Structure 1
Amino acid sequence: MTAATAPHFGPTPSTPAIRRPLAAAALLAALVGMVFGLLLGGAGPASAHAALTGSDPQDGAVVATAPKEVTLTFSEQVALGDDSIRILDPDGKRADTGAAPRDLQSGSTVKYGVSLHAGLPDGTYTVAWQAVSADSHPVSGAFTFSVGAPSKTTVALPTDQAGGGLVGALYGIARYAAYAGFILLAGGSAFVLACWQRGAGARPLQRLVVRGWMTLTVATLAMLLLRNPYTGSGKLADAFDLDGLKAVLDTKPGAALVSRLLLLGASALFIAVLFGAYAKREDEREKKDLTFGLAIGGTVIAAGIAGTWALAEHASTGIQPGIAMPVDVLHLLAVAAWLGGLTALLVALYRTPDIDATAVRRFSGIAFGSVIVLAATGIYQSWRQVGTWSALTGTGYGQLLLVKVGLVAVLIGFAWFSRRWTARLITGGGGASAEVQDEETAAAETAAADASTTEVSGSAEVPDTPGATAEDPARAAQLARQQAAVATAEKKRIRDADPDRSGLRRSVLAEVGVAVALLAVTTVLTSTEPARTEEEAARASTAASAPATAGPVEMKLPFDTGGENGKGTVRMEITPARTGANELHLWVDGSDGKPMDVPEVKVAFTLESKDIGPLPVVPARLTEGHWTADGVQIPMAGNWKVAVTVRTSDIDQTTIDKNMKIG
């Protein structure tokens, strides 16, 4: 709920409100259902921060001889285990040596290599890999390459993404619960300290904050246990593997979760003081000092808990992490102050009828400041994670971000209505009118209590005299409970009869409903690959696989076999001069420039930088002086040495070579 001013229009306090709760509930259900439908129907599986940008051999490549090792290049820093990269032969057996991947990083290039066994047979090999990106999310994939020629393979490429399945779903639920718990814990406490200090003694608000603490604690423990199977095997039983848990504690996400648990221990002490000594303190000076101490301590604890997200997720990687992490902490604190305070206000409006208009006005100002902070930090985060306008609509992250922005706009719209009801509550619910209402309430409670006492005494046929109640303590206690119940019911009736307060409750209820959907979108967004990274990875992958030339490559090779009529020129053309299948044409011209009919022509391709080749090609004679070969396989791009052997007689031949850039 913001403090933005608005024209005074809409239903007057006397407007009937019989069907408004049902309409608000229907609208709320429609909004939540629409958002979750968009998420489930269009978001697809969430990918993580790092991406595979290249490999050697490349996906689908055909090499002449088996390489000594396979290398993988990533867009971001990743963590690999001893068995993170596996190479399987056509029969499904391990073709790698089983050693841990070698770190081949150079500068900003993130590359790892895995050694292969010697003497591998020809056929199609499968490379399956799994890693954990620097922002704590698992990534995986697979591709194939062939030695000699493609063949059938018994290995099926995995279709499941890392971090999926039952474990992935449970981990996602725990992430959502952790965000929700933090918002209730931090926002509810801030609402009590900054807006309504008398609320520290209200049981509904106490339960709200304590439940937020319990939710965050349980969710953090669940994430700590699920971390090993979430980034590894995907088996739920591995959540209780002590060795796996120990390995998790040595990682950055594991350390962040443990730090969060320690901070939750400190927050438990904060809650005990807030709803214990603080709630009972009556001296105004002492209470003011304690308020200042609790505000400082609570802010430090809340910032520390928010920092456990910033230190282990998107803010800690990519560009400008030194700025992004503090901004992320500020963003989370603003979210908690707004949405958590909004939930606390809703609970107070429904469960504590004595909340005053001053508390609502204070929260309105805090919410307005939170929205400004959210706008500033959100713009920076969007620029950092998206980068370009095309990425905003062309990537999953950008599309989710647009959904989030739309929900924030809807939330601010409901907050505008809440602000209007707040203004009415302040102008119409305070001062003399409140005193009159208090007097009417007290009179009604006294009359109701007297009527209840008379009715109960008559029905039980017990004389309603002081002596009778004094002689029967149980009877007196029963009458006291009945009187309290009647008084509470009457207060609720008078409260519900206030149209301004009812209107505020409905608008705040709608805000909280949209906030629930907004939190779901945010949770998915934090586990989705940022748009900037996705585009950079796509460009790097395209650059690695794109051909250097778009058309045929030609060259001329003069030759002299030493015999009679042994001089001439070979003109060679290879089309399209890229990796994969190519078409080769050779024209042999004599020294006079006319086509020369020779007995034999042979060609061989060698990529010396990769120890590939020579790959022999025997072209077929098409016409006099014209030779051709189809399906010439070039396994990878590079500076290839092309050797052409020309035989002009039974004993006269020569080999000439020249380098040619292919692919």
Structure 2
Amino acid sequence: MTLPAPARRTRLTAVLSGLLLLVVMWPAAAFGHASPIGSTPADGQVLTSPPDQMTVTFTEPVTLGGTGNAVLDATGEPSPATFSVSGRVLTIRPEQPLPRGSHVVTWRVVSADSHPVTGGFTFAVGEATPGAIGVPDSQAERELSVVRTTVDALRYAGVLGLAGLVVFSLFIVPSAVRRQPLVARRTRGATYGFAGLAVVSTLLLAPLTATWESGRTLASAWGVDAWRDGLTSAAGVAVLVVVLGAALAVAGRRRRPVVAAVGVALAVASLLPVGHTRSYGPASLVLAADLVHVSAAALWWGGLVGLAIVLAAGSALRVADRATAIARFSAVAGLVLVALAAAGIVLYWRIADSLPALWQTGYGRAVLVKALLLVPVVAVAAWNRFVLVRRLTGREAGAATALLRRTVTFELIVVAGVLVATGVLVGQTPPPRADTVVTGVPTVQRLELDLDDAHRVTVVVSPARRGTNAIQVSLTDREGAAVDVPDAPRLQLGLEEAGVGALNRTLTRTRAGHWQATADLPLAGAWRVSVAVRIDRFEEPVVSGEVQIP
């Protein structure tokens, strides 16, 4: 018996409510893809003495990558050094003084959206070495990238196919079509197939992602370390969510629609823990757009598979029942395509915000390929909706049904290509947004301040531009030897011309006589930097200087 419209709406509301609840409850992440905004020493800088430490500052907090972090001399030989991350600052401390000549620092960190970010810079002590090596290429191994992209495309095919097919079966087709033995058997087989594909591909993606983030080779992806790192990360959360979602969707797809609805919501939500949308904001807008995007894609991909099953049933279905199922899906498909396009535009705007990046970057080209693939599919879908569907119950019903089978097959093939492009897109690093790009060569501003007759305070601000800056403070005697004190100096920042003052920043000791802090300098102007140092029990002199932030 066909359920009345209110009952179908209740089921659909359950699915949408479940998805919305998952998005609202999902923990938010930092907003802004990690990009380096400066280093100390600056790239190409020549120092008069070996540095005690080097730093790289990023636009957002990062974690240290497992490989790809090294300090190399002019011949490419590694120099012992310790790499550590505190918030947005990567600190490199040589274990012994660096010799005269050129040096290269290469680094690999992981952004909040799980994407590895690599880079490096060169500097020299005393003078540059002729013919010194440059920053080595640290691109991920091609084989690993290809395998990971393939598995990610299969994950999208499985998760979206499972969710869309269950929704198609529960809410779109009439019960007479859903219960027809041939349709029911094929739908059950496709549902099991999508569920298995979703679980297996998501599981395999966990060690592959961990290996990709750490910069290791494909061969190491199947080792114990890769599995442990992957399953204890956000990718591991996705595995748990998709397993539970697939189990509930399969178990409840026939007689327990609420259970199936929860399963569909969980399956779609498994795509959210990892990806670009986890590191861009505003959170409510980006996550809502992402939810609409993947939900619309699920209804389209899974719905097309369900429609192909209905069309393949042939004479086993009554003409009127088949026509009703096709007409219902056709009506939904129009709304789905509009939602898919609108959400995609919003996501690209928040992630890239650059029209030229569509053809100038790998990420943009993947988006462009997706969009171009959709053009013929939209045209075919429109023709189906406004031409073929009207012929399904007339004298041309047989010919119209046969033609519709071919057009649906065409749509399935092209949408499969879109899923491949999606796998490529997830693996690409988005271009920096215009509001986070730092133009020009990063600079370093250095203040040499006399604390008293016996001590000097040195303050180094990098990259000395609006946004996040690393601040190093050191205390030395007149001969340049480090002087340690029991209490860390107190650091204050202010911009008098803008009425900004008394911004206290905590300095963290890095070694004897050296401290560091991270400070956000959001406005241009002459920032006053004040440092108070407690020399002894009774004295705490204060010195100040100005740094220009362009």
In structure 2, the partner of 1:338 is 300
Unaligned runs of 5+ in 1: 1-47, 279-289, 431-497, 548-578, 580-606, 615-638, 640-658
Counterpart of 2:72, as a letter, is L
RMSD, aligned α-carbons: 3.4
What CA distance in whole angstroms lies between the structure 2 residues aligned with 1:158 and 1:299? 50
Measure the CA separation in 2 of the matches of 1:91 and 1:406.
48
| 1:394 shift after superposition | 4.6
Residue 505 of structure 1 corresponds to which residue in structure 2? 405
Q: What residue in structure 2 maps to residue 73 of structure 1? A: 57
Q: Name the CA shift for 1:358/1:223 in 2 (closer, same or farther; >3 Å).
A: same
Secondary structure in 1 aligned to 2:79? coil
**2:78 paired with 1:86:** no
1:13-62 Cα shifts (integer Å, max 9, x gaps): xxxxxxxxxxxxxxxxxxxxxxxxxxxxxxxxxxx943323211122222
SS state of the match for residue 247, structure 1?
Answer: helix
Aligned position for 1:195 = 172
Contact 1:183 1:340 in 2 (8 A): yes
- Partner SS for 2:122: strand
Report the 3-state secondary structure (helix = DSSP H, G, I; strand = E; otherwise coil) of the residue aligned with 1:337: helix
Q: Does 1:377 align with 2:360?
A: no
TM-score, structure 1 length as denominator? 0.57
The Cα of 1:335 is off from its aligned counterpart by 0.7
Contact 1:194 1:362 in 2 (8 A): no
**What SS does the corresponding residue of 1:113 show, helix, strand or coil?**
strand
Structure 2 counterpart of 1:407: 373
- Amino acid of the residue matched to residue 523 of structure 1? G
The 8 Å contact of residues 50 and 529 in structure 1, kept in 2 or not, is answered as no
- State whether residues 60 and 144 of structure 1, in contact with CA within 8 Å, keep that contact through their aligned partners in structure 2: yes
Which of residues 212, 223, 228 is equivalent to 2:205?
223
Answer whether contact 1:72 1:112 (CA < 8 A) is retained: yes
**Number of residue-to-residue matches in the alignment:** 418
Q: Which residue of 1 aligns with 2:192?
A: 210
Residues 125 and 145, structure 1, Cα contact 8 Å, conserved in 2: yes
Partner SS for 2:392: helix
Asked whether the equivalents of residues 88 and 125 of structure 1 are also in contact (C-alpha less than 8 Å), the reply is yes
Aligned-residue offset at 1:131: 1.8
Aligned residue for 1:416? 382
Q: Shift in Å at residue 341 of structure 1? A: 0.6
The 8 Å contact of residues 104 and 120 in structure 2, kept in 1 or not, is answered as yes
| 1:637-648 equivalent positions in 2, closer than 5 A | none
* Aligned: 1:521 with 2:417: no
Q: Deviations over 1:263-318 (max 9, x none)?
A: 33333423xxx3xxx4xxxxxxxxxxx3xx41x33332222222222222111112
Give the structure 2 partner of residue 123 of structure 1: 101
Contact between 1:65 and 1:147, CA under 8 Å: does it hold in 2?
Answer: yes
The counterpart of 1:357, out of the listed 314, 323, 342, is: 323
TM-score if structure 2 supplies the norm length? Answer: 0.68
Question: Does structure 1 residue 62 correspond to structure 2 residue 46?
Answer: yes
What is the SS of the residue equivalent to 1:544? coil
**Equivalent-residue separation in structure 1 for 2:434 and 2:69 (angstroms):** 25
Task: Tell which structure's C-alpha radius of gyration is larger.
Answer: 1
Q: Would the alpha carbon gap of residues 262 and 154 (structure 1) be closer, same or farther in structure 2, given more than 3 Å must change?
A: farther
1:299 paired residue number:
261
Which whole-Å deviations, capped at 9, do the CAs of 1:473-507 have from their partners, x for residues lacking one? xxxxxxxxxxxxxxxxxxxxxxxxx2111111122
* Superposed displacement of residue 536, structure 1: 4.7
Q: What residue identity is the alignment partner of 1:500? A: A
Contact 2:249-2:259 within 8 A present in 1 as well: no
- Structure 1 range deviating more: 500-509 or 77-86: 77-86
Q: Residue 352 of structure 1: CA displacement? A: 4.7
**Which whole-Å CA distance do the structure 2 matches of 1:165 and 1:247 have between them?**
21
Give the counterpart of 2:127 among 134, 149, 152.
149
Are the aligned partners of 1:56 and 1:71 in contact in 2 as well (CA < 8 Å)? yes
| C-alpha separation in 2, matches of 1:660 and 1:230 | 40
One-letter code aligned to 2:388: W
Deviation at 1:391, TM superposition (A): 4.3
**CA displacement 1:487-532 (0-9 Å, x = unmatched):** xxxxxxxxxxx2111111122122222212222222222332334x
Aligned in 2, Cα 1:227/1:146: closer, same or farther, shift over 3 Å? Answer: same
Matched letter for residue 137 of structure 1: H
Match among 428, 442, 445 for residue 544 of structure 1: 442
Provide structure 2 residue ranges, at least 5 long, that are not aligned to the other structure.
1-31, 446-462, 464-471, 480-525, 527-545
Looking at structure 2, the residues matched to 111 and 80 of structure 1 have their Cα atoms a distance apart, in angstroms, of: 10
Q: Which amino acid aligns with 1:518?
A: V
The structure that is helix-richer by fraction is 1
